[in-house]
Structure 1
Amino acid sequence: MSSEAPATHKMFFREAIAKAMREEMRREPRVLVLGQDVGAFGGSYREFDGLFAEFGAARVRDMPVAENATIAIGAGAAAAGFRPLVSITYMDFLMLGFDPLINYAAKLRYKTGGRLCAPLVVKTTAGALGQGVAHSQCLEAWLISVPGLKVVAPSTPADAYGLLKTALRGDGPVVFIDHKRLFPIPGEVPVAETPVPFGEAIVRRAGRDVTIATHGFMTLVALDAAASLAERGISCEVVDLRSLAPLDLDTVAASLRRTRRLVTLEEGQPTCGIGAELAFRLFQRLGAHPHARVGALPAPVSSNPVFERACIPDAARVRDAVLGLLAAPSPAIPEQERP
């Protein structure tokens, strides 16, 4: 058996999304794209380039600036047998579509005793990039509390490609969260079709002293912090969650058993955030352990670049959190996990 690594080619994050969409639209004629500027323009971040030319207006449909109606149409089309992807340019405006997403799509399987489902993917773009208080939020922590809703957040082109393919093939609904700062970042993507399963985190950097658990663009921030701390002889393990609902607790718990210290990192608010949920679930499983949460400051994200940088976590804040944990004594984690 050959031990050679799978063939890959380098592409930008946005191109990996277009590759996944193109392949799935060729494979499954029921896959549609709905959203603002998704047609001839190719998407606000050019992540749908070439789809309109190949599949036409019947399957790549420009929608008005009406997020509630767009998600409602997508949810209804999904219930009727189509497999739509609805593009919401800014995650902030996903709130306008919460009623059809949460009260209809996420509950449809439950309300019909499993007779209907909504294979809907809502792709939305989070994060700060100089666009101000209503175009910069990361609201994924709101979404993971909704039963019936899957939530994923890739950090690499390969995972954007693989997670999107899984989302488009599943029963849904799925919220696929990308980040403005990720679109121009390149990476290796498999040549062969390679879906990435939901519920599987990945260790991006092995380490022994501290576990940093994060997702999305903050994975790159965590890796920068880990590289800086390595110069001081501090070894950080970076775990990219990738899937927020379902959440892979096993991979993070295995890492924490080795390092005995946890830093959670997110661009959203740490209050009732992803990190708070993760830390509590790990406490339930492993008992008490030193941990720190790093997230946005409790303030709206300003369009002023100085204030924006002050609000959003960076590698320096992650380093400070790690150093603070290392300065405190670390209790032993019990050999047997709690039930």
Structure 2
Amino acid sequence: MSADGTPATTKMFFREAIIKSLREEMRSNPRVIILGQDVGSFGGSYREFDGLFVEFGPERVRDTPVAEAAAVGVGAGAAAAGYRPLVSITYMDFTMLGFDPLINYAAKLRYKTGGLLSAPLVVKTTAGALGQGVAHSQCIEAWLMSVPGLKVVAPSTPADAYGLMKAALRSEGPVVYIDHKRLFPVPGEVPVAETVIPFGKAIIRRSGTDLTIATHGFMARVALEAAQKLEESGLSCEVIDLRSLAPLDVETVAGSVKRTGLLLTIEEGQLTCGVGVEVAARVTERIGYHPSARVGALPAPVSSNPVLEAACIPDAARVMSAARALVNERRPIEIR
């Protein structure tokens, strides 16, 4: 504890918070292992595994071939056998290759065996655009939200990266843990003491009275930037970071919308069958209709051209435009 009685924290980068969580869990549970491309002596494509190979060795930090389906399959089998594997998929686009073992085996195992077996597997994957083109920039978390038995989380701060990773490694079901390329160098305060953030608990990042913004991952930073600028022009936005997409904390979002009367969702993925439409539908089921708007990526592959990439994904200016339109018109709109 600090002098004022609040929990002590230390400042570190997002990627370092992941390492801290993994190191603590690996020290306390010898069945936690890491599998993936370049996770060993190289320390991960974004250095989010630095130092773990040196401490825990090749038996517990294992490099795999460029074969995502095989890596997820081995991880799912190891999980069913009693281990707690983390399988690292460098780009979220390539989780598609591991969908069969992840969805048809790991997510269904508890159901197929009447609870006798489970697959405590974590698939850690990196989403989002950062100049790497059409096959390395996608955000497909909405696909995964619809899979029964699969948990999906997406931290936006170092503290949440730490706490959600600990929860994922202790979970009894398969978890997809989604980080974002642009978040790895982001600094923030992380608890010194071991702290687990439970799934299904959104957090209000900024209080407001005129409009609720619900989002996750890197888009939480975009939402906060937009909210700050909108405040200067007299529009008060409440920003909710979902953190957990499956399970989804509808209560926190619905409570906010009930206060503000308006809902704006932001995601870097596609709007069609996206996170935003699911959030809006569940809020409507809970508290009735309220005007809403969605901001998402353009319906096009993300280009590696920096100008086209920037045009494709949401930024603060587009969020501000959608927020103003929603407040002024108080009707459903769609901003791509």
Query: Which category of TM-score, normalised to the shorter sequence, fits these structures?
Result: over 0.9
- Which ranges of structure 1 fall in alignment gaps of 5 or more residues? 332-339
Aligned to 1:88: 89
- TM superposition shift of 1:329: 4.3
Asked if residue 285 in structure 1 is aligned to residue 283 in structure 2, the reply is no
1:20-62 CA-to-partner distances (Å, cap 9, x unmatched) read 0000000000000000000000000000000000000000000
Work out the CA distance in 1 between the residues paired with 2:70 and 2:150. Answer: 19
Aligned to 1:148: 149
Work out the CA distance in 1 between the residues paired with 2:282 and 2:18. Answer: 32
Q: What SS does the corresponding residue of 2:329 show, helix, strand or coil?
A: coil
Aligned to 1:104: 105
Q: Is the Cα–Cα contact under 8 Å of residues 261 and 330 in structure 1 kept in the other structure?
A: no
Aligned to 2:328: 327
Q: Is the Cα–Cα contact under 8 Å of residues 262 and 330 in structure 2 kept in the other structure?
A: no
Aligned to 1:33: 34
Moved over 4 A (4+): none
- The percentage of aligned residue pairs carrying the same residue is 75
- TM superposition shift of 1:296: 0.1
Q: Is the Cα–Cα contact under 8 Å of residues 119 and 173 in structure 1 kept in the other structure?
A: yes
Query: Greater shift after overlay, 286-295 or 113-122?
Result: 286-295
Q: Is the Cα–Cα contact under 8 Å of residues 292 and 331 in structure 2 kept in the other structure?
A: no
- TM superposition shift of 1:298: 0.4
Work out the CA distance in 2 between the residues paired with 1:241 and 1:285. Answer: 17
CA RMSD of aligned residues (A): 1.2
- TM superposition shift of 1:3: 5.6
- TM superposition shift of 1:330: 7.6
Q: What letter corresponds to residue 325 of structure 1 in structure 2?
A: L
1:241-264 CA-to-partner distances (Å, cap 9, x unmatched) read 000000000000110011100000
Aligned to 2:227: 226
Aligned to 1:337: none
Work out the CA distance in 2 between the residues paired with 1:25 and 1:281. Answer: 37
Q: What SS does the corresponding residue of 2:212 show, helix, strand or coil?
A: strand
Q: What letter corresponds to residue 94 of structure 2 in structure 1?
A: F
Question: What number of residue pairs does the alignment pair up?
Answer: 331
Relative to structure 1, is the Cα distance of residues 261 and 39 closer, same or farther in structure 2, using a 3 angstrom cutoff? same
Aligned to 1:306: 307
Q: What letter corresponds to residue 312 of structure 1 in structure 2?
A: I
1:117-147 CA-to-partner distances (Å, cap 9, x unmatched) read 0000000000000000000000000000000
Aligned to 1:216: 217
Q: Which structure 2 residues correspond to residues 245-284 of structure 1 after superposition, within 5 A?
A: 245-284=246-285
Q: What SS does the corresponding residue of 1:211 show, helix, strand or coil?
A: strand
Aligned to 1:23: 24
Q: What SS does the corresponding residue of 1:45 show, helix, strand or coil?
A: coil
Q: Is the Cα–Cα contact under 8 Å of residues 163 and 197 in structure 2 kept in the other structure?
A: yes
Relative to structure 1, is the Cα distance of residues 329 and 38 closer, same or farther in structure 2, using a 3 angstrom cutoff? closer
Relative to structure 1, is the Cα distance of residues 17 and 208 closer, same or farther in structure 2, using a 3 angstrom cutoff? same
Aligned to 2:204: 203
Q: What SS does the corresponding residue of 1:327 show, helix, strand or coil?
A: helix
1:210-237 CA-to-partner distances (Å, cap 9, x unmatched) read 0000000000000000000011011000
- Which ranges of structure 2 fall in alignment gaps of 5 or more residues? none
- TM superposition shift of 1:287: 1.4
Q: Which structure 2 residues correspond to residues 95-244 of structure 1 after superposition, within 5 A?
A: 95-244=96-245
- TM superposition shift of 1:5: 1.1
Q: Which structure 2 residues correspond to residues 35-50 of structure 1 after superposition, within 5 A?
A: 35-50=36-51
Work out the CA distance in 1 between the residues paired with 2:309 and 2:331. Answer: 34
Work out the CA distance in 2 between the residues paired with 1:78 and 1:326. Answer: 48
